[in-house]
Structure 1
């Protein structure tokens, strides 16, 4: 069976290193035989702000309904994102708030502390760009995005965070280094597709 991948570029800018990394990952995954959906968050039409929390939920926009369908079908999720103030861009955080809903991503169970994981069996990769050195982000700051998304968000829904890549510092990177990062994204895609294909045998 053909591996099915969903890639989300979480940088809302129309042109960025994240955009290029997501595109190269998608190209390499397709060349390796996978079925790929690539979404750029800046092109999705939705309201990211939950003004009343989950008490008064607005109807899901067409792009969010389509995203839920693609996430259901995907075996592997790839989130490409810049690190802004140690965390995710607000629009990407809003996308997760609006999409990973009770009844879709998880379901509370009476008498049990942990909800039923409705997206169980999927894996995820984080590909993060930053202006800090990766060692500083991981060891000094404690990898805030990995800690936030790994168990509290993706893990709660049953998606296992299998890989993380930290690329930086971006603001001082030479063109040669940026090209090397694109090559790493391509290699990661090939590795992911091979792993998913083995799991399907």
Structure 2
């Protein structure tokens, strides 16, 4: 059994979003396989925007941040779902990481190689309008790589795996079903 935290990073709280269905399928596959699952919906949080270095370094973050940090400490595997907006994660999700992955939790101001969250694995699942190979080849997947390398790997998550799902505006019912089945399988494997 693996302890899995799913981070639903879509800023739109409406339940009909594709990301919600992908999260639900991943959670269902993981639960059916006997894994322990928790979900954080970033759209439901009321986190303030960080504006100063002092706030980032503060050992007293808001209560919602502390709860998210506790869930991440609990987890052995983190699955992050988000749409691609302007080549990267939406601002609300970026703000979540700025608040939660702060000094003293995910980073050390004295030792940039400390890796405080070492021993955990992660997966990013990113939906996008453009074809996924185009994002990877023509744009280098830089927005996704920034999250994977400069946030997750820097904090100690390894390996960090990736699933890119492109062409979401024109997917067929068959493709939609395949994506949900793929998410259930990834959840079952805790990958």
Q: Same fold (TM over 0.5)?
A: yes
Find the counterpart in structure 1 of residue 83 from structure 2.
82
State the TM-score, normalizing by the size of structure 1.
0.87
Measure the CA separation in 2 of the matches of 1:126 and 1:168.
14
- Identify the structure with bigger relative contact order (alpha carbons < 8 Å, sequence gap 6+): 2
Find the counterpart in structure 2 of residue 37 from structure 1.
38
Q: CA deviation at 1:161?
A: 4.0
**1:176 partner SS:** helix
Write the deviation string for residues 144-182 of structure 1: whole angstroms up to 9, x where unpaired: 233202221111111124311111100111222112111
Q: CA deviation at 1:45?
A: 2.2
Measure the CA separation in 1 of the matches of 2:39 and 2:65.
14
Q: CA deviation at 1:187?
A: 1.0
1:183 to 175, 178, 181: 181
How many residues are aligned here?
187
How large is the Cα RMSD of the aligned pairs? 1.6
User: Which runs of 5 or more structure 2 residues have no equivalent in the other structure?
Assistant: none
Measure the CA separation in 1 of the matches of 2:144 and 2:42.
20
Please state if 1:101 is matched with 2:102: yes
2:171 to 170, 173, 176: 173
Aligned pairs for 1:1-201 within 5 A: 2-13=1-12, 14-15=14-15, 16-47=17-48, 49-51=49-51, 53-57=52-56, 59-109=60-110, 114-192=112-190
Measure the CA separation in 2 of the matches of 1:97 and 1:56.
10
Find the counterpart in structure 2 of residue 198 from structure 1.
none
**1:87 partner SS:** coil
Find the counterpart in structure 2 of residue 199 from structure 1.
none
Contact 1:108 1:115 in 2 (8 A): no
User: Which runs of 5 or more structure 1 residues have no equivalent in the other structure?
Assistant: 194-201
Q: CA deviation at 1:69?
A: 0.2
